[in-house]
Amino acid sequence: MCTALAKSGTAGSRPRLLEWSLTSTMTGPTAATLRPELLMNLPGTRSPVCLPATAANIAAAAACLRQGGVVGFPTETVYGLGAAATNIEAVQRVFAIKGRPPEHPLIVHLASRDWLADWARTIPDSAVLLAEHFWPGPLTLVLPRQPHVPDAVTGGQASVALRVPAHPVALQLLEAAGALVAPSANRFGRISPTTAEHVQDELGDALDMLLDGGPCEIGVESTVISLLGDAPALLRPGGISVAQLEAVLGRPLAAAPQGVRAPGRLPAHYAPATPLEVLPSAQLAQRATALAHAGQRVSLLVFAASDAGMPTMPGVHREIMPGDAISYARILYATLRRLDAQGFAALLVEATPDNPAWLAISDRLARAAFGTLPT
Ligand code: TXA
Ligand code: MG
């Protein structure tokens, strides 16, 4: 859990939590935990940015969002950086906070698939089918946009990405605040956050509020599917597997079309600061020993079976990773963040099984490794 009081400094010109708190109904234990002196956002005092996701705090966050605030909140995949999808100024603040280039489009999050027609101009049968099966859940559908969808959201494209998340806090927030853009709540190109503490550490000072709903269940981002072409196409592997999608669609997914701007598809996305290498099991011990002999502190991320077969290697940290894809995904980003903070010269990751169930993980690891190999 993140600490409830981590932000310091002045309120600036933006509306702040004190106002949201006062306009929301605060009753019971939640109100009792927010001591009035801690809500005072005076110069030099600390203001409560990160709060437990109670009903009262969700209502306060929704009020904040309706007035143009930017709020971090949990989804079942990763934490999102939320802003009202119809408020161009708030959307632009999301880009500024992330350091994300403006032409990269955002996902619009909806409370229900009943909202789809408000955002998508046409809804093919495949969209209805996928939404019925996988929403609420970790699937994003790219569809032709309604004319009112701001260019600031779509990066000027004629399409819009839409998803109904499965996390109860996200759904309550969307119900109360309306549609929200929500990129992962990390700086552009860095590891997505899977706890409120990650968000607090990376962006805390820039947010109006952060709802702590505990660690994310899935741990990697949603699967992104384009429904713009003749056949549904995979733009980003994620929380719903290709096999699950193909089973429901009754046909194979097409390859990603050319010319789609999707930052999750940039080779160097999802990178820790520490150089990361993905290596076949047979090469791990040798590479680790070579680096350790050269005086470098390294960490392995290995499966238990490989760890058991390895010799003792002084100076080499061994992080045992889960053998099933679902558990591995859940802890991957938190593990990378923790190891990234420990000053290793390199992270050596055992290649994951060559099996479709591991696609989202091998995709993120390949991106994390891109261009960061130690010399
Ligand atoms: O799990 C998730 O999807 C998380 C949580 C917070 O919901 N959000 C997330 O957002 O990962 P972001 O902005 O980090 O990634 C959005 C992905 C990117 O790969 C983006 O390029 C793609 O969706 N995308 C958005 N709009 C698109 C569009 N119109 N056409 C193609 N791809 C689009
Ligand atoms: Mg992201």
| Residue 98 Cα to ligand 2 middle (Å) | 9
287-343, pLDDT tens digit by residue?
999 999 999 999 999 999 999 999 989 989 999 999 999 999 999 999 999 999 999
Q: What is the pLDDT of residue 270?
A: 65
Q: What is the pLDDT of residue 255?
A: 82
Six-digit token pair at 32? 């009792």
Which contacts qualify for 20-25: CB closer than 8 Å, 24 or more apart?
A: 20/60, 20/61, 20/63, 20/64, 20/67, 20/69, 20/208, 20/209, 21/60, 23/60, 23/63, 24/56, 24/59, 24/60, 24/62, 24/63, 25/56, 25/59
Q: Report, as an integer, the average pLDDT of 65-87.
A: 98
User: Is the domain defined by 276-369 classed in CATH 1.10.3720.10?
Assistant: no
35-45, pLDDT tens digit by residue?
333 333 333 33
At a CB cut-off of 8 Å and minimum separation 6, what does 41 contact? 10, 11, 16, 17, 18, 47
215-249, pLDDT tens digit by residue?
999 999 999 999 999 999 999 999 999 999 999 99
Binding-site residues, ligand 1, Cβ < 6 A: 75, 77-78, 80, 104-107, 138, 140, 142, 154, 157, 159-161, 165, 182-184, 221-222, 224, 235-236, 260, 262-264
| Residue 29 Cα to ligand 2 middle (Å) | 34
265-301, pLDDT tens digit by residue?
555 556 788 999 999 999 999 999 999 999 999 999 9
2-60, pLDDT tens digit by residue?
644 334 333 334 444 444 443 444 333 343 344 333 333 333 334 458 999 999 999 99
At a CB cut-off of 8 Å and minimum separation 6, what does 156 contact? 103
Among 81, 104, 134, 140, name the best residue to mutate to test ligand 1's pocket (greatest count of ligand atoms within 8 A of Cβ).
140
What residue type is 117 in one-letter code?
A: A
| Residue 149 Cα to ligand 2 middle (Å) | 21
Q: What is the pLDDT of residue 258?
A: 60
Q: What is the pLDDT of residue 24?
A: 41
Query: Average pLDDT over the chain, rounded to whole?
Result: 86
Q: Is it the case that residue 73 has pLDDT exceeding 70?
A: yes
Fold of 11-249: DHBP synthase (3.90.870)
Domain ranges of the chain: 11-249, 276-369
